[in-house]
Chain A
Amino acid sequence: KAGVTQTPRYLIKTRGQQVTLSCSPISGHRSVSWYQQTPGQGLQFLFEYFSETQRNKGNFPGRFSGRQFSNSRSEMNVSTLELGDSALYLCASDTGGAGTGELFFGEGSRLTVL
């Protein structure tokens, strides 16, 4: 079956703009997690959704938000972009919850903020 799909794969924005990233999980997976990956900090947890409900949120400012739709697809939004938001944003899905251990990751959306 198809893997986790993230769009767009690459994007360039300027400071102050906002961006929306999309994630389509593996069919049948109801949990979607988002991570920010940077060389210095590794993988940092943003939030996790299950059945359209945000169950947990990481330590990121309110500019970072997300949602999940009834078909389990998820979006994350970053408003008022800052240079430090440049990163690879990874989406991962699994069947029953992010705590089960095996997350299936997408290829990521690489955001560059100029």
Chain B
Amino acid sequence: AQRVTQPEKLLSVFKGAPVELKCNYSYSGSPELFWYVQYSRQRLQLLLRHISRESIKGFTADLNKGETSFHLKKPFAQEEDSAMYYCALADYGNNRLAFGKGNQVVVIP
């Protein structure tokens, strides 16, 4: 079954420290993965997708098919990065995005 696992529920980091959010997936086909972000009092929105291979707001994520992972990284956390982050897997056969349970990131000034 298609599944997305985000092991850490809450992550607290100091401003300027690196941040890494872990995401592992299980999928029988060729995976397409995404990170979504929800800032306080804002809508859930797309942060980045693996096929674009770009850095958004200093975040990058690399798809590792061997480890079935798509971890999100940023070398220097900023206070505005405090948010809820969800990893998602496109399940085209079932016309849905499968989301992980999310990571709450708190950046301490």
Mark A residues whose CB is within 8 Å of B.
3-4, 31, 33, 35, 40-45, 48, 50, 55-56, 58, 90, 92, 97-108
Contact = CB atoms under 8 A, between A and B. Distances in A.
B96 A100 contact: no
B94 interface: yes
Given A42-B99, A56-B94, A105 B34 contact: no
B46 to A, nearest CB: 5
Nearest to A35: B99
A103 B43 contact: no
Contacts of B100: 42
A64 to B, nearest CB: 15
A43 B92 contact: no
29 contacts: A3-B43, A4-B43, A31-B95, A33-B97, A40-B101, A41-B101, A42-B6, A42-B101, A43-B44, A45-B98, A45-B99, A48-B95, A48-B96, A56-B96, A58-B96, A97-B92, A98-B95, A98-B97, A99-B90, A99-B91, A99-B92, A99-B95, A101-B88, A102-B34, A102-B46, A103-B97, A104-B45, A105-B45, A106-B43
Given A101-B97, A106-B43, 17 more contacts: A3-B43, A4-B43, A31-B95, A33-B96, A42-B99, A42-B101, A42-B102, A43-B44, A45-B96, A45-B98, A56-B95, A97-B92, A99-B92, A99-B93, A99-B94, A102-B49, A105-B43
